[in-house]
Chains A and B, each alone.
Chain A
């Protein structure tokens, strides 16, 4: 590793986050640099383009206070890295991985590139271990498995943070070999109280010692927001693949990340794509979300639970849309349910877990779990259609069967979606069967004869 080089007086221009300088040292693309202003404060940056005489440096923090003559540039001659070592858990860090809890710096046992590297697709292990979140709409209807990336699509003002906190506190594996579980909380452009509430909740449940927090507050520069998840995931990868833990990464709010991406792209003068977001937003988000996974031969896993608030409550907006194309499903929260007082307000129909089939059923959860959830989906979809009809011509105008579906729909929301206390998967399943018993047997076409006999027609034995 070559030594750092310091250039002074090399700046030729400053434009937003971009710094133009004469290339007076041996610099390579993506080298990390520290831009030191007259006041002596260092800012993180990287070389984003260069030719024989000049180079462009992207400053990843605020450029306020920099000038052309007094600014020095320290060139690291290696890409942006994070120093990692034992003792990550229980600590709080800022966007660029420096402790902000007053504690000592981490021992630097190894350095890892914050951009991460793509997991070799052939070395990936298929995620299969069911995680019990104790939330019925997730466990029963859209199961989460280790190594999955499952975002919460929410809207402003909905209790997504509360739900994420509860999942972080309660999530567990069903069998004994649970291994070491830990949480990495990433606050991206979050208000102070969101971060504090999370910290307090984790502390109260005694889980703070298994949690590392990376915070980028709402008033910090947006360029730093692009770094927060990368530093946090680098730490998470260290916890998962070096220290062999099972890591759950909770990231809130990815919408702030995307807004920052748009802002930075615009300041680079790039050609915008949909709604002003850069055309590479899909690839950029993928470099974050694809860092979830399991690797063959390594015991640790990395699971992601990103949270995003849909601008204008619109699921077709580029942020949820591109996220949905990358992640393995989504849990959608709805305002209507929230207004009805249903907590957690999970909209079951647009929610989906793509890895559910790999992690549920015989040998994983319960042999009848997939059929039950399938049947509940079909019935609830039917109930929603009946609601549309009822809204036009009134409940009385509906045929008998449709009226029973309407009742089923209400019961489903009030009893299964809404929950005040944690439920095991068995409890959720028992509730599901009970709800189905209110419907005519002839409508339950997704269940086999044996399932009907066991759970619907002779419920006493099934318990």
Chain B
């Protein structure tokens, strides 16, 4: 334990005079309340540190104690299903109505431990040495990644505290290490894996506009930029609820407290559609609301991705929802400003881009140290000022993500959610993911996707034209294009997050819906080519069925959808008969 004494303090930054050597990025306990801090600069006998909590009441002369370790969090079985602050300290109703500095106590969960190795076994870092009992995934106990050696002793099955040593390992140098169910890991250091793998399958989100148009790969990274009120948070929450990851890490970084309350209120009552278990069991919430200390906001993103990597190392697929990375960047800016660093664009520090890159690069699909396959998929919300995507955080983020889901204010104002703009968004892994859709029995996926995007592109062009010449003056085929694009927007791309039926849409149902829509558009195209006026097609009652397809035909109604296919056929036959009769008459 190295010691220092505060010499200067202002806001969350302090300078202290050291008598023994400190390391850069070493975690500190500051003052009598033992507030958490981190060394950010060393210069001669002075260290500069940022404090992650409210510094009111600190004064020169107060002690600063070094921990000897970089800022670390304890990873163990007590994480899943709970809510933490940005430094992974538990928040619960029991910790009081108000968030207090130094709100210390570490988790002290008791778990039933089942040993998985015996004395004399050789263990390498990242291997599983036991299991804990309990519901939900993520119950393996891992050897800390950098440790390996021979098991000297292991405790029998029984109930132990999370931080109580249950295993003794003797390394090659003969040193004995005591290992508990949880272990510490520095948050700013990526956890090692045996091998990085490339993308092969999408993370199924259950949102039609994402899965069908702009998929994100497992282990991929997506950005979700949008001005306020465009539905970032609702979409993030929908993804957290319905995507097919094994574990969800949801980090509310500088966002609203009531949103955290919403998640805590809702998740325990919702069922995971795949396992039938409460969603909360697979979820970790990290909450650093906008009025909690800014420096901890900066750390919360690293805390979250470290937790995600820990579950990845157990062979699980993890989705990390970060809401919002802009607040994190602002925290960087604020701390940088207090240190008097030279500002770059918009006042952000010049190292913003490299920090963003470091973060997004930790998203990966890997072969973990224990040989299992796991992944971390990162979905970062971005809150650009005034919805301007050319600002630094959005433009730098764009360079590092592979899926870009641009939210659009116009769509949001018409309450057409998810308000993702199909012409401003993109996904780079489409070619790789087409194979997966083929295996799901939808070999036309790529073709459908191309047609759908083409249709929306034409719509934008034709609407510009219609504004000048009037909709009625467009040729019939173009009028039909507008009608078809409206149908796709209203009937397929729009999906209510609050509808019991439509909030989740399986790939199978998406395929079925898309086929019906395309069938209608093809038949309508033929009819118009044969001389039917587009107005007659717009008046077809079957159109309403198609527009409400998502809402009216749930996951259990896939059978009934095939009836719709014959109804569409019948409707067009009737239309043609009618037309022939009229022509003859």
Which residue of A has the minimal Cβ distance to B290? A286
Which residue of B has the minimal Cβ distance to A373? B415
Contact A52 B7 (CB under 8 A): yes
Contact of A329 among B15, B229, B254, B264 (CB under 8 A): B229
Contact B385 A120 (CB under 8 A): no
Given A29-B56, A50-B8, A283-B334, are A290 and B291 also a contact pair (CB < 8 Å)? yes
A330: chain B residues at CB < 8 Å are 228-229
CA distance A350 to B415 in the complex (A): 10
Contact B11 A49 (CB under 8 A): yes
Given A389-B466, A392-B467, are A126 and B416 also a contact pair (CB < 8 Å)? no
Given A50-B9, A318-B385, A445-B544, are A280 and B334 also a contact pair (CB < 8 Å)? yes
A120: chain B residues at CB < 8 Å are 91, 93, 95-99
B584 shortest CB reach to chain A, Å: 28
B99: chain A residues at CB < 8 Å are 117-121
Within 8 A of A (CB), among B316-352: 327, 330, 333-334, 337, 343, 346-347
Contact B258 A124 (CB under 8 A): yes
Contact B385 A321 (CB under 8 A): yes
Q: Does B530 contact A (CB under 8 A)?
A: no
Q: Does A420 contact B (CB under 8 A)?
A: no
CA distance A120 to B287 in the complex (A): 9
CA distance A402 to B463 in the complex (A): 14
Count residues of chain B with CB under 8 A from any CB of chain A: 80
Contact B539 A442 (CB under 8 A): yes
B41 shortest CB reach to chain A, Å: 16
Contact A121 B7 (CB under 8 A): no
Contact B256 A290 (CB under 8 A): yes
Q: Does A364 contact B (CB under 8 A)?
A: no
Contact B334 A279 (CB under 8 A): yes
B11: chain A residues at CB < 8 Å are 48-49
Chain B 485-503 interface 0/1 with A at a Cβ cutoff of 8 Å (1 = within): 0000011000000100000
CA distance A315 to B228 in the complex (A): 11
Chain B 212-225 interface 0/1 with A at a Cβ cutoff of 8 Å (1 = within): 00000000000000
Contact of A271 among B7, B61, B258, B347 (CB under 8 A): B347
CA distance A102 to B89 in the complex (A): 48
Chain B 436-470 interface 0/1 with A at a Cβ cutoff of 8 Å (1 = within): 00000000000000000000000000000011111
Within 8 A of B (CB), among A273-297: 273-274, 279-280, 282-283, 286-287, 290-291, 293, 295-297
Within 8 A of A (CB), among B257-286: 257-258, 260-262, 264-265
Contact A117 B60 (CB under 8 A): no
Chain A 321-349 interface 0/1 with B at a Cβ cutoff of 8 Å (1 = within): 11011101110000000000000000001
A370: chain B residues at CB < 8 Å are 498
CA distance A51 to B415 in the complex (A): 54
Contact B347 A28 (CB under 8 A): no
A26: chain B residues at CB < 8 Å are 59
CA distance A322 to B100 in the complex (A): 26
Q: Does A186 contact B (CB under 8 A)?
A: no
B478 shortest CB reach to chain A, Å: 14
A402: chain B residues at CB < 8 Å are 471
Contact of A279 among B287, B337, B472 (CB under 8 A): B337
Q: Does B181 contact A (CB under 8 A)?
A: no
Q: Does A207 contact B (CB under 8 A)?
A: no
Q: Does B413 contact A (CB under 8 A)?
A: yes
A427 shortest CB reach to chain B, Å: 23
CA distance A30 to B59 in the complex (A): 10
Within 8 A of B (CB), among A398-414: 398-399, 402
Chain A 18-34 interface 0/1 with B at a Cβ cutoff of 8 Å (1 = within): 00000100111111000
Within 8 A of A (CB), among B87-117: 91-93, 95-100
B330: chain A residues at CB < 8 Å are 279, 282-283
B492 shortest CB reach to chain A, Å: 12
Contact B291 A126 (CB under 8 A): no
CA distance A89 to B234 in the complex (A): 38
Q: Does A352 contact B (CB under 8 A)?
A: yes
A377 shortest CB reach to chain B, Å: 4
Q: Does B172 contact A (CB under 8 A)?
A: no
Q: Does B414 contact A (CB under 8 A)?
A: yes
Q: Does B294 contact A (CB under 8 A)?
A: yes
Contact A49 B8 (CB under 8 A): yes
If A51-B7, A123-B95, A290-B291 are given as contacts, then 13 extra A-B residue pairs at C-beta distance below 8 Å, sorted by A number, are: A51-B9, A52-B61, A118-B289, A121-B287, A124-B258, A273-B333, A325-B228, A326-B256, A381-B413, A393-B467, A393-B469, A402-B471, A445-B544
Q: Pull 19 A–B residue pairs with CB atoms less than 8 Å apart, ordered by A.
A: A119-B99, A120-B97, A121-B264, A122-B91, A147-B258, A271-B337, A271-B343, A274-B346, A286-B289, A296-B93, A296-B97, A321-B385, A350-B229, A357-B498, A377-B414, A378-B414, A389-B470, A393-B470, A398-B470
The 10 nearest A-B residue pairs measured at CB = A49-B10, A316-B386, A286-B290, A381-B414, A324-B228, A290-B291, A124-B261, A51-B8, A28-B59, A30-B56
Chain A residues close to B by CB (< 8 Å): 23, 26-31, 48-52, 56, 79, 115, 117-127, 147-148, 241, 270-274, 279-280, 282-283, 286-287, 290-291, 293, 295-298, 315-318, 321-322, 324-326, 328-330, 349-350, 352, 354-355, 357-358, 370, 374, 377-378, 381-382, 388-389, 392-393, 397-399, 402, 442, 445, 448
